[in-house]
Amino acid sequence: MKSCQEISQLLGRFVALELAPDAEAEVRAHLAACSHCRARLDEAEPIVGMALRLAEVPVASDPGFVDGVLAGVHQRRVEQQLRRRFRSWAAAAAGLLLVVGGYLALRSGGGGVEPLGSQVAASEEAPFVEVEGEGVTVYQFAPASDEAVAVAMIIDPGLAL
């Protein structure tokens, strides 16, 4: 083992991490045994001294911690895979429903839906209709004499103008 004088000459290079691994190990061993050299290192580089003291403190390891973290990572991966599969199946089912629905609509000839304009024109209601519901008010203006014109306005009463 080297003397305190030789170690004190190596402290600068030790702090700068410029020592060979075997020389660094020798300096660390000397610092662990010699309180005088540790004090000198603390004066010159207090952060390095503090880091060396932290390395000496025994830390109790928790074997369940790593297992718990790895289990959590695995669980998240499984959940992501299930979500991806569900989305794929849901998209395929929605596409299939659209295709079948479109086929049935074409096969039945459109279902006999009457155009909106003819419904408004055929009705003999008053020219002004007001309906409230779902937090909005709908006003419809449909003159009885004009079959081609129908105006509807949706007003949100909560809207501040």
- Does residue 148 fall inside a structural domain? yes
**Domain membership flag for residue 31:** yes
Q: What angle do CA 111, 114, 120 make, to 5 degrees?
A: 155
Residue 121: what residue type?
A
Single residue among 12, 31, 56 that ends a domain in this structure: 56
148 vs 76: CA distance, rounded Å: 59
Give per-residue burial for 83-113: e unless 16+ CB within 10 Å, then b: eeeeeeeeeeeeeeeeeeeeeeeeeeeeeee
Range of the domain at 40: 4-56
Please check whether residue 66 lies inside any domain of the structure. Answer: no
Is 0.85 surpassed by the pTM of this model? no
Q: Is residue 92 part of a domain?
A: no
Do the domain assignments include residue 52? yes
| Domain membership flag for residue 14 | yes
Q: Using one digit for the tens of pLDDT, what is the confidence trace for 9-66?
A: 888 888 877 889 898 889 888 888 888 888 887 777 777 767 666 655 566 667 777 7
87-119: per-residue pLDDT in tens?
989 998 999 999 998 888 888 875 555 555 555
Per the structure block, which two tokens stand in for 98?
Answer: 């659209």
Total number of domains constituting the chain: 2
Does some domain include residue 37? Answer: yes
Q: Is residue 84 part of a domain?
A: no
Choose between 32 and 122: higher pLDDT.
32
Residue 43's closest CA among 83, 15, 16? 15
